[in-house]
Amino acid sequence: MSNKKESSEIIRLAHGAGGVLQENLIDFITKNIAFKNVNDGIGIDELDDGATIPLENYDKEIVVTADGHTIFPLFFPGGDLGTLSVCGTVNDLLMMGAEPIALTSMIIIEEGFEFEKLGKIVDSMNRKAKEANIAIIAGDTKVMPRGTLNELIIATTGIGLKDKKIKILDNNIQVGDKIILTGSIGDHGTALMASREGLNISTELKSDISLLLEIYNAIKLEIDNNLIHAMKDPTRGGIATALNDWAHKSDISIWIDEKQVPIKKEVTAICDMLGLDPYNIASEGRALLAVDPEHSEDILKKIKATKIGKDAEIIGEVKIEKPKRVLLKTIVGGTRFVDMPLGEPIPRIC
Amino acid sequence: MEIPGLNLLRSKDFTDKLIKGINEIIREINKPIKFMHVCGTHEHTISKYGLRTILPKEIEILSGPGCPVCICPAADIDKAVELGKRDDTIITTFGDMIRVPATNISLAELKAKGADIRIVYGPNDAVKIARENRDKEVIFFAIGFETTAPLIGYELQSKPPSNFSVICAHKLIPAALELLMSQSQLRIDGFISPGHVSTIIGMKPYEIFSRGYKIPNVISGFEPNDVLLSILMLLKQVRDKNYDTINEYSRVVKPEGNIVAQKVIDDVFHPISSPWRGIGRVYDGGLEIRDKYKEFDADKKFDITIEKSQDIPPGCSCHLVMVGKLYPFECRLFRKECNPLNPIGPCMVSLEGTCSIYYKYHSENNS
């Protein structure tokens, strides 16, 4: 069929939007890599938030993540590209159960970009790095001719350290686990989309972008004791992508109770207006956790006591039937699938 | 920010009351009931909120031909493709339309080969492109029901540039409903009628169903409790054998409709017998541009004839899905060869298409 050809020949924007197409793209790039891990650590095949390098004769392992950051507009309600690059990298380390130590930063700049704007973005990076108590230890810059990229791209590597015995992995979720979400969904993507579409209907809605360090510290004991089986920050593709990813990798089903899912009224309204599904929309300061059921209330209490986790809720649980599926009990009591989003969310036309 | 009435329209308490009422009446009726909606957005609401899973099993909600992208004949897409192959043309249309499979290739594939095909949000954008590209023929591929026709009509009334023209593939909903009624094997017990279309045409065009065919008709809104309330209103009519056209969506739909928009449609178009993809020729089922605006009718401006077209590819069941004779999961291509990334039939393309909605929200069967 015609569309098969189209999707296999060229890379479209939707290939970067965290859905099935992105999986195809990643597979295309990674399938012929010769060596995919070190010392039997987590490698590229696991498609987790990062990789590990177990250190021989030592009970720790190094955790490494790589992240490219680009956003339009560069300055958005609640943050900018600098905030995004540090928060994104640090959060990826935290989601593997690692303590962040340092990051490297590569800044690619378009000819003609203003020093003043670059200054603001670098300031944000430095401020967030200080807040996360991590060093920026190496970097590189490139300037590209006008028109070869849009303003600015930042690429980072995050480096952290964790105990070998901590197993926080996408494929480690157990039947019976409770699913905790640390705050309202879709704030980041919706705030951006609303400002792009010129929907200046809400002055209060801003990106939820933040470091998840406070939450990590609050539940460090549970992390060390392997009571947290998986953690993930639902960025591109939203919680629909994150939960489907878990259901597939852990071969279980996840049952979500829609009325428990925290969502801001503004987000519901803007998504309704644009015909978008908030479950597919990115957050930049939220985490999903799959936790031991017996300790779930304790963990929730600790998360709720933090500033960024005060709206946390237990939104669902893990079951064995219908494996690899995410099911939703809707607000009116019906049941339906939550599917993996297929590509770039676009506002509906009719 | 608050959407007015949303608390009630998505309230579980209200849902529970409606379901209780529905259960009571279906017990009194004591036989299986089939209602049909004819709007992709209704299917979206029903599937997204899992309404079929909370309705009693005696009530079946069929999905009718309510997706404008799906019922647009392949021959019309072929026409756009032929025109798009020329060096001096820019084809403009709504987003979903470019991915719909046609007889040979889709507009998306033509675009990938280098043709100038552009997605627009409305015909006003297409006219703007025409003004900015006077050395090109800018053709708007116009699809949709009564809801989008006034927009195109208004542009033609507003003296667009001479390099602008329209492939008019507009369809009219009430005519198609009447055709469905004549297909006796469907035995529909009532229509959940489309709120958007009714905003334009009002309530009068539906009266033939309650008066002539003796089946109830409720014009419904798009929140979950709108749809459930409409089902309750239909059931009451079935029980009382008292058939009427009722407006559940009265917060938006006026009984007389949008008179200004109706006048625009009437001035620019006239109804004609027209083919619907998967359904066949529908008497008065489409719109043609009147002679006084014929200079903007791409059919008359360019001499394009499509000899042979193929609406339904081999193995595809879209023609049965569109009239509610088959559920998507009963098609042997569903979730296999046919999926949203590689749609074989038109219903898998649009967000309003029944197969695409079932792919996103439903399990393998209806449970």
| B257 vs B197: CA distance, rounded Å | 9
Question: Which phi and psi (to 5°) does residue A158 adopt?
Answer: -105, 140
For residue B6, the chain A residue with the least C-alpha distance is A269
Mean per-residue pLDDT of chain A: 90
Which residues are paired to A255 by β-bridges?
A317, A327
Question: Sign of the CA dihedral A330, A335, A341, A342?
Answer: negative
Q: Is residue A348 part of a domain?
A: no
What's the pTM?
A: 0.85
CATH code for position A73 = 3.30.1330.10
Question: Which phi and psi (to 5°) does residue A159 adopt?
Answer: -125, 130
Same domain? For A187 and A328 the reply is yes
pLDDT of residue B126: 96
- Say if the Cβ atoms of B1 and A201 lie within 8 Å: yes
8-state DSSP, A316: E
Same domain? For A203 and A320 the reply is yes
Structure token digits, residue A13: 């924007």
- Say if the Cβ atoms of B361 and A336 lie within 8 Å: yes
Same domain? For A185 and A121 the reply is no
Same domain? For A115 and A229 the reply is no
* Residue A219 pLDDT grade (very low, low, confident, very high; cuts 50, 70, 90): very high
Q: Letter for the amino acid at B192?
A: I
pLDDT of residue B121: 83
pLDDT tens for residues A13-27?
777 766 677 888 899
ipTM of the complex: 0.79
| B125 vs B113: CA distance, rounded Å | 23
Q: Which residue among B108, B144, B359 places its CB closest to the CB of A3?
A: B108
**Among the listed residues B8, B28, B44, the one whose alpha carbon sits nearest the alpha carbon of residue B362:** B44
B30 touches chain A (CB under 8 A): no
pLDDT per residue as tens, chain B (367 positions): 555 667 789 999 999 999 999 999 999 999 999 999 999 999 999 999 999 999 999 999 999 998 899 999 999 999 999 999 999 999 999 888 888 989 999 998 898 888 999 988 889 999 999 999 999 999 999 999 999 999 999 999 999 999 999 999 999 999 988 888 887 677 899 999 999 999 999 999 999 899 988 999 999 999 999 999 999 999 999 999 999 999 999 999 999 999 999 999 999 999 999 999 988 899 999 999 999 999 999 999 998 888 889 999 999 999 999 988 899 999 999 988 898 888 899 999 888 899 999 998 986 554 3
8-state DSSP, B171: B
Same domain? For A324 and A182 the reply is yes
Rg of chain B over Cα atoms, rounded to whole angstroms, equals 21
Same domain? For A301 and A236 the reply is yes
Structure token digits, residue A196: 């792009």
* Position A93 pLDDT exceeds 90: yes
Same domain? For A245 and A299 the reply is yes
| A255 vs A173: CA distance, rounded Å | 13
Q: Letter for the amino acid at B154?
A: Y
Q: Residue ranges of the domains in chain B?
A: 6-17+33-64+179-247, 74-173+257-301
CATH of domain B6-17+33-64+179-247: 3.40.50.11750
pLDDT of residue A45: 87
For residue B359, the chain A residue with the least C-alpha distance is A339
pLDDT of residue A349: 39
Neighbours of B208 (CB within 10 A): 15
Same domain? For A204 and A156 the reply is no
Higher pLDDT, A129 or A265: A129
Structure token digits, residue B176: 């198609």
Same domain? For A198 and A333 the reply is yes
8-state DSSP, B316: -
- Say if the Cβ atoms of A337 and B344 lie within 8 Å: no
Q: Which residue among B54, B99, B362 places its CB closest to the CB of A337?
A: B362
Q: Which residue among A331, A332, A349 places its CB closest to the CB of B95?
A: A349
pLDDT tens for residues A279-311?
999 999 999 999 999 999 999 999 999 999 999
Q: Which residue among B95, B101, B148 places its CB closest to the CB of A346?
A: B95
| B339 vs B334: CA distance, rounded Å | 7
Best of A5, A322, A336, A337 to substitute, by most chain B Cβ atoms within 10 angstroms, is A336
Q: Are B342 and B114 in contact (CB under 8 A)?
A: no
pLDDT of residue B248: 96
| B45 vs B51: CA distance, rounded Å | 8
**Among the listed residues A5, A14, A3, A9, the one whose alpha carbon sits nearest the alpha carbon of residue B349:** A3
| B71 vs B62: CA distance, rounded Å | 16
Q: What residues contact B131, with CB distance under 8 A and at least 6 apart? A: B161
| B207 vs B244: CA distance, rounded Å | 7
| B12 vs B28: CA distance, rounded Å | 24
pLDDT of residue A283: 95
Give the SS3 label for residue B350: coil
* Position A345 pLDDT exceeds 70: no
Question: Which phi and psi (to 5°) does residue A121 adopt?
Answer: -70, -40
pLDDT tens for residues A108-129?
999 999 999 999 999 999 999 9
Note the Cα B347 to chain centre separation in Å.
11
Residues of A in contact with B49 (CB under 8 A): 330-332, 334, 336
Same domain? For A113 and A79 the reply is yes
pLDDT of residue B363: 67
- Which residue, chain included where needed, has tokens 């008709």? B217
Same domain? For A195 and A97 the reply is no
CATH architecture of the domain formed by B74-173+257-301:
3-Layer(aba) Sandwich (3.40)
**Among the listed residues A73, A69, A75, the one whose alpha carbon sits nearest the alpha carbon of residue A103:** A69
Same domain? For A85 and A139 the reply is yes
CATH code for position A314 = 3.90.650.10
Q: Residue A157: which domain range?
A: 58-163
| A255 vs B228: CA distance, rounded Å | 24
B7 touches chain A (CB under 8 A): no
Q: Which residue among B51, B106, B228 places its CB closest to the CB of A2?
A: B106
Note the Cα B101 to chain centre separation in Å.
17
* Number of domains comprising chain A: 2
- Say if the Cβ atoms of A7 and B342 lie within 8 Å: yes
Q: Letter for the amino acid at B195?
A: G
Q: What residues contact B95, with CB distance under 8 A and at least 6 apart? A: A346, A349, B119
Q: Is residue A20 part of a domain?
A: no
* Residue A4 pLDDT grade (very low, low, confident, very high; cuts 50, 70, 90): very low
